[in-house]
Chain A
């Protein structure tokens, strides 16, 4: 599936990272990462498991703190935010978790309205219901509104996870392995949904994946994390048109399986 045309504003950076380093004891995961995400862009971060892809977006969302380096999200320095500023910023930065992270004691409706009710306490019951139904309709799962997460398939859970992210109308969406553990057909559905979200909600996104089909279908630009740094970036073809054995091995593994 070809990536639809998108309106990217290359003059406006929504995330800017310079010299980001993060270690866990002796494991140096990120060793000086530089990154820019532009307004309206879908940026795919590729890399093998354990290379720090998820650590990167957890730092962007404030779940982890950087050891050193500068992380600017919507112009705010993540290293110098008060609790309130961080909370306000998080409303604008959605996070779609690898395992969806749905609240398993709540129905789909409660899952989606949970962040909305807490961040917009003045909304009436009717307004909340309308917004929940609208976002569920946008991800094609309005019929599951009263189901429990345990009753949903893997693909449905991913969609509901994305819907819960979208209910706050974020400016940036961070996707952590959106197609992990799904069958190929459902992967295509999720890739399409990521592109639809970009079009409908005018979001900028970082998509963490090691699935090259997902990368090709959703990425306006692709960066590859190798040995704790972004070694290659550009379009899909630019990134993989190389003699670098590490990159070629990654490509061969994905497309010869």
Chain B
């Protein structure tokens, strides 16, 4: 029989159990993610290579995101230039605008904006598509017919985002600089050749390299997170929605963390 004392004693006993369960859950999730990533590296680079499907996925990720990337990149370049002008003009340094724009776009804005847009558009789509396939047993159907669904569905999509995001990012940088040029040309009357010369002047090889490395890491992250969430989604239509949502939120969060880490690492080499 419970005495008031014994009931009171139960409370502190339950708390560590809950905490332990939560910790165990987190570590299990982490272990599963690591296994998922290792499986990707184990299976992605061995035949059969599914080149046709890879091209189709690159088209899905790349070409279909192009419109949004173009619009966003252009607006980012234009607005960034417009907003930076007053601060620079206070010091009579508006001639530095092209350099400022190029450094900001190449080092941070282009890879970051591209990654965030791709995470929203493609990450959610991968999560929802694979989640739906899991729920309707299409992944099981692939497995029982002697096809490796991990390779066909996961590896191909992750490779597609890893290849395509750097290309999109480069394109976004080009369009953003164009947006900046239009603003500078309109206000300062700078010619295109002068603008371009000033754009490339402050950039080093490390800037291009770091931008490329960032985009590759972001692309891989978006693909692997979307695929992991979808491939392991729980049963039911609710699980599909959760997978899509969680793919976007997690990918965006990781992209910001990676941005900070990579900027720190690149800083050591400057």
Contacts and interface: CB of A to CB of B under 8 A. Distances in A.
Interface in B235-256: none
Nearest to A95: B144
Contacts of B147: 114-115, 118-119
Contacts of B48: 118, 121
A119 B146 contact: yes
B25 to A, nearest CB: 15
A94 B69 CA distance: 45
Contacts of A2: none
Contact of A101 (B140, B146, B148): B140
A95 B136 CA distance: 14
A101 B48 CA distance: 24
Interface in B126-150: 133, 136-138, 140-148
Contact of A91 (B138, B141, B146): B146
B136 A99 contact: yes
B137 A97 contact: yes
Contacts of A115: 145-147
A63 B145 contact: no
A90 B144 contact: yes
B144 A61 contact: yes
Contact size range, A: 20 to 34
A93 interface: yes
A101 B138 contact: yes
B141 A95 contact: yes
A87 interface: yes
A58 B136 CA distance: 15
Given A97-B137, A101-B138, A101-B140, A88 B146 contact: yes
B227 to A, nearest CB: 16
B146 A168 contact: yes
B170 to A, nearest CB: 30
24 contacts: A62-B143, A63-B144, A87-B146, A88-B146, A90-B143, A90-B144, A91-B146, A94-B144, A95-B140, A95-B141, A99-B137, A101-B136, A103-B133, A104-B136, A114-B142, A115-B147, A118-B145, A118-B147, A119-B145, A119-B146, A119-B147, A164-B141, A165-B145, A168-B145
Interface of B: 48, 133, 136-138, 140-148
